[in-house]
Amino acid sequence: MTNLDQINNLEHVDKQSMLRHIQELPDQIENCWEEMKSFVMPANYIKLSNVVILGMGGSAVGGFLAKALAFSTSKVPIEVVNSYHLPNYVGPETLVIGLSYSGNTEETLTTFREAGKKKAKLVAITMGGELASIASNFKAPVYTINYGSQPRAALGYLFTAVLGVLSKLDLVDLGKDDVRESAVLMRGLATKLNPEVPTYQNEAKKLAITMEDKLPIIAGAGVMAPVAYRWRTQINENGKHLAYSLELPELCHNWLAGLKVPQPLLKQTYVLFIQSKHENERNRIRQNIIGQILRKQGVKYDIISLQLSGCVLSEMLVTIYLGDYVSYYMAILKDIDPTKVEEIEYLKKQLS
């Protein structure tokens, strides 16, 4: 096991600077928000019946987060589609946001083209690729991401650009300082999670070590459900580690009943509840009761709650930030480059 406090070795393992990208997440969010101010949406886009966000993997996460944040304010339904098919209701009064970092993801291209044929109002958020070309053919606006990284490491752009689009259409309610406040809080947290902070004071390193030989299951409610999902995907892709995410209160109605077998797997399982100060009080009560059940079954669990004073957006982003660092250290512990995702690339190559 690599000692997380021997930081001189980091560059040998983190060959493509994943740490730098994680550290740049607050900058990404602020840059994108600034750029979105001059992003012009066609005037007729204001008349909408629904919104569909298309994306896969790291790009889809931006959509899931935006959907959760807009849940209590949007006057129209918002759906995220991460498959080959569009819902039947997509039509001229649907805003379809094509979200693909590379602009070349097969599923997203398929549904984006179909949405164009159905005369939906299109917007593309991408580095370029085929998605940008399709959008141009349909004379749709394109927000171009100017940032070189793995898609998942550009979440600051992917998420904030969707928020920018939704806020121009009054579908999400963001305070004028929410983005700046989030970036400030994230930078503050980074000083506590960076590699020079020793394990005994560093929550991200501690969590990475706790999860090292475990099967992590990350659970959250409301806005923390997609945050838990981001943790899971980062642990998978950066940490090269099997993990799952669950949503509260739904898990109380099924998953709980399965905590019996296989026993060896239960011993290996680690459940992490991510709390939010904005969530329904009943979910906290549920978490405590589930905790008692988990203890009885010999399953290790923890509850994290960053309990910041800020807005919902900042709570989501800061919690994501902690997860990103955890996933990074999980790779370092294994002596594996956090950037490489060989299996995903192999699969894409085989399909092409």
Chain positions contacting ligand F6R, by CB under 6 A: 56-59, 100-102, 105, 108, 150-152, 237, 341, 344
Rounded to whole angstroms, the Cα distance separating 115 from 281 reads 40
Nearer to ligand F6R, 100 or 275 (CB): 100
CB 170 within 8 A of CB 120: no
CA-wise closest residue to 351 among 113, 58, 105 = 105
DSSP 8-state code for residue 145: P
Nearer to ligand F6R, 48 or 163 (CB): 163
Catalytic residue, chosen from 206, 300, 334, 348, is 348
Q: Is 114 among the catalytic positions? A: no
Nearer to ligand F6R, 230 or 286 (CB): 230
Alpha-carbon 62 to chain mean position: 6
Nearer to ligand F6R, 57 or 195 (CB): 57
Residue carrying structure tokens 């905590």? 259
Nearer to ligand F6R, 107 or 279 (CB): 107
Three-state DSSP class for 141?
coil
Please state the closest distance from residue 56 (CB atom) to ligand F6R, in A: 4
CB 118 within 8 A of CB 91: yes
Rounded to whole angstroms, the Cα distance separating 327 from 324 reads 5
Rounded to whole angstroms, the Cα distance separating 336 from 330 reads 9
Please state the closest distance from residue 297 (CB atom) to ligand F6R, in A: 33
DSSP 8-state code for residue 39: P
Residue 182, both tokens: 């989030």
Please state the closest distance from residue 234 (CB atom) to ligand F6R, in A: 9
Please state the closest distance from residue 313 (CB atom) to ligand F6R, in A: 21
Q: Is 277 among the catalytic positions? A: no
206 C-beta neighbours (distance < 10 Å), count = 15
Residue 36, both tokens: 């979105």
Q: What is the dihedral of CA 197, 203, 206, 207, to 10 degrees?
A: -140
Catalytic residue, chosen from 12, 37, 253, 260, is 253
Please state the closest distance from residue 238 (CB atom) to ligand F6R, in A: 9
Give the residue closest to ligand F6R by C-beta.
57
Please state the closest distance from residue 242 (CB atom) to ligand F6R, in A: 16
Q: Is 12 among the catalytic positions? A: no
298 C-beta neighbours (distance < 10 Å), count = 11
Residue type, 174: L
CB 123 within 8 A of CB 82: no
Catalytic residue, chosen from 237, 240, 241, 279, is 237
Rounded to whole angstroms, the Cα distance separating 32 from 24 reads 12
Nearer to ligand F6R, 56 or 217 (CB): 56
Any idea which residues carry the catalytic annotation?
237, 253, 348
